[in-house]
Amino acid sequence: MKRIDVATKKWTKLVNTFPWFREYVVLEGGKKIWKSREFYYPLVGMGWYKLIWDMCTKIKAVYDKNPERYEMYNVTDIKEKYGGLRYYTTCSPEEFEEYVREAEGLSYKTCEKCGKPGKTVEIYSWFSTLCKKHENARRKNHKKRFGW
């Protein structure tokens, strides 16, 4: 199985396990667009899979006590910015905030590629959180590709 297939399978499991990855219809330019769960696959490396999964598990323990309260709670985007995890939702209640902050904090200490301990490094004006091995690989790749 290819790496990308493994990644897709894992993200599929995530978006199907937690109910706030909702399918819904949005209006875009006057057209109705169906947003399936796959639309919310996090745009981050698999090294952060576990911390996203753990965060969602903690949220779910609270969510399950009163699902009606969280009917409007919905993921809109999960991505990386300046080397850190960004988890965007609508109608996010205060009681979930500590779990989100915890995961976002951990992302700055976790290699986005492999999940091992890492730190945020600047590689040619681009911030990433990586372990030493993946930092070196990224630098090497850049040099090979761009020649500097």
Residue ranges in contact with Zn ion by CB under 5 A? 111, 113-114, 116, 131, 134
* Rounded-to-integer distance, Cα 49 and Cα 10, Å: 8
Rounded least distance, CB 130 to Zn ion, Å: 6
CB of 6 to Zn ion, least distance (A): 16
Which C-beta is closer to Zn ion: that of 14 or that of 111?
A: 111
- Is the Cα dihedral 50, 17, 8, 77 positive or negative? negative
In the complex, what is the shortest distance from the CB of residue 53 to Zn ion, in angstroms, rounded to a whole number? Answer: 18
Distance CA 106, CA 142 (A): 26
Nearer to Zn ion, 14 or 134 (CB): 134
Q: Which is nearer to Zn ion, 83 or 92 (CB)?
A: 83
Name the packing angle between helices 49-63 and 94-107 (round to 10°): 170
